[in-house]
Chain A
Amino acid sequence: KAGVTQTPRYLIKTRGQQVTLSCSPISGHRSVSWYQQTPGQGLQFLFEYFSETQRNKGNFPGRFSGRQFSNSRSEMNVSTLELGDSALYLCASSPPQGQLGNYGYTFGSGTRLTVV
């Protein structure tokens, strides 16, 4: 079956602009999590959505937001971009709790955002 699809793969934006990233999870997965990965900070949890509801949120400023649609596709938005927002943004989907079994999270290839 198809994996997790993230678009776009690469993005260059200017400070102060906003950006929207998209993630399509594996068919049947209703949970989508977003992570920010930078060389110095590793994988930082942004938020998690399940059935269109934000279930958990990490320690990021309000400029970072997200949403999930009825088809489980998710978007994250970053407004008023700063240089420090340059990172690889990863989306991961997982089956519902109780069905996790030994499947873990499946990550997309990520969107590499560069803020100049």
Chain B
Amino acid sequence: GQQVMQIPQYQHVQEGEDFTTYCNSSTTLSNIQWYKQRPGGHPVFLIQLVKSGEVKKQKRLTFQFGEAKKNSSLHITATQTTDVGTYFCAGRDTDKLIFGTGTRLQVFP
């Protein structure tokens, strides 16, 4: 079945540094979604990318969908302590949404 891997598994950064997580699927995706889960919380939907090569921005967050629609990335510029949490990508396999392994971000003030 479809597998969605994310790297790195963990990332510790100093506040103000940039952060990037990468998502790779074993199959071509119709779309990709990104979620953030704060410690002790539940995943919260951030964004969905649909088109090949698509780039979307949300303030300090930049999301990119690969040309082959098999990979994606999330880049955070100048991290803040409020960015702490686990970031998941999720790709749609037919009708079910398969979540990536997640990248846990820790930001030190």
Contacts and interface: CB of A to CB of B under 8 A. Distances in A.
Interface of A: 33, 35, 42-43, 45, 48, 55-56, 58-59, 90, 92, 97, 100-110
A106 B33 CA distance: 12
Residue in A43, A48, A103, A106 whose Cβ sees the most chain B Cβ within 10 Å: A43
Contacts of A102: 47-48
14 contacts: A45-B96, A45-B98, A55-B96, A56-B94, A56-B95, A90-B42, A102-B47, A104-B45, A104-B47, A105-B33, A105-B45, A105-B90, A108-B42, A110-B42
Contacts of A106: 45
A106 B98 CA distance: 15
Contact of B88 (A43, A48, A59, A108): A43
Contact of B99 (A42, A59, A100): A42
Contacts of B46: 104
B45 A42 contact: no
Given A56-B96, A90-B43, A105-B43, 4 more contacts: A33-B97, A42-B88, A102-B48, A105-B35
B68 interface: no
A48 B98 CA distance: 12
Interface residues of B, number: 22
Contacts, number: 54
B10 to A, nearest CB: 12
Nearest to A97: B95
B1 interface: yes
Contacts of A92: 43
Nearest to A109: B42
B71 to A, nearest CB: 18
